[in-house]
Structure 1
């Protein structure tokens, strides 16, 4: 299924390991029957988009790619559809909660891990599916762990022919290979190395004291400093600027503080509470220099084009359990 148009990714590192990956999954040249493998490759190597298209040529049935976030699902499907020269919903489609763009000719379907878990609960045999790819396995969360456990049971009891590939940028490779493989025989691991580039780190501390974040509250003085640092980056560097902030509220606040720069740059936002069209706009190169204000969704699940500078506020939102109330909540952590 890899089309001629995909030669634009000929220099992507993962393309050079596709034969080894296919051999590992099919058991070619190995004593075991194959069917499971681990792919470890840094972000930007093409593992999310080129690997599913290559596997579609090797399996009978659909290739299902599970992503942890809805925004990554849409972005991956759109990119793969462009590579094969079609529209989303034709050869490549996607399914997220409340939205499905899949047709009778779809060979690669990108879904969230939550959708995959519900599909496994409804019909564990996964009829019509020839391979499942669990992408971004280093992002440990309940749906991903459930999907992995269910798929291992399905392969053992119902579908030994189902190919299962786990991909990650920073996974605990030996442990993951041991879980996927048989006792004493871990799953084969295929690695792809990315080109490394020098990164200049600039330490830009706030000019005055900042109150530590508490719960969901972030000191407005820190947001003032983030906006000032973005302005400095625009003056002293070239290329698009990617800014990491903990949540949608802080993104909106910093966007307002950057209003004075809108005559020369496009200020875009990227977080999970936006519409699909707004999210997609941040993932396409624009005619002018851009500042993309994003949550951690842009950390590993997505590749934002054109970025040459990253400004990190040093904060993130993390789920925490309040044992006194018996409820989960989000907390702002360093």
Structure 2
């Protein structure tokens, strides 16, 4: 009984410590979703109903009939991501010196794997299809008119002005929420090369003081390195033209939703088929999706 209790306690500690590490050191992309919810099952789930714009009309007579207005309604859905797991196996010698405490190497590595998975699913959701229709079976592709073409250059002041103008035509309120531009190392370098951005005469603070990217022109900037390590299944969506053109996501948080089927679940088991080596198993399941096509943009750079 004591042995079983100790084994159960270690399982719980392993799982809890990985979850705690995920909370302390989360990923990047999936944290940008403006809304999130927990889901179960394997079918698409309804997120919300979006309604078309309505306008008030002045009354022209006393005791007039009520101004009844038909409102367009559009349901948006989220499709569940596939369950993913990781299961490193350690032989008896390694197991004896392996800790599952908070901050231990194994806990950090498994948490990193879960974080990478969740970011990957968020990236896939941004570039992939949205879902609508009565049962969520109508695909909504990314709005091509919301892609600002590269023009043969990287991030420039004029390009950011053009992006701001494009976003405003979609009635996004910059005062209510700042759009977030994901920037690769090359694009971060280009941004830091803009005189008006780095010079304190044109704004408060300088991004060069501590390396942090300050907001500018109503945008927030989020550094990210998309590659096979950080986004195993979706990094190629960030590049076109043989990798020459970069597709930088521009996320308005209220138009991006995250669904959580399983943030993380862990278990430690002895594998009799592997010379009684110990398997440290962890799994996760999530997905992200656009919920408003007028709150998702791409700025292309070269």
Confirm or deny a common fold (TM above 0.5): no
Question: Relative contact order: is structure 1 or structure 2 higher (C-alpha 8 Å, sep ≥ 6)?
Answer: 2
Comparing both structures, which one devotes a greater share of its residues to strand?
A: 2
TM-score relative to the length of structure 2: 0.29
TM-score relative to the length of structure 1: 0.27
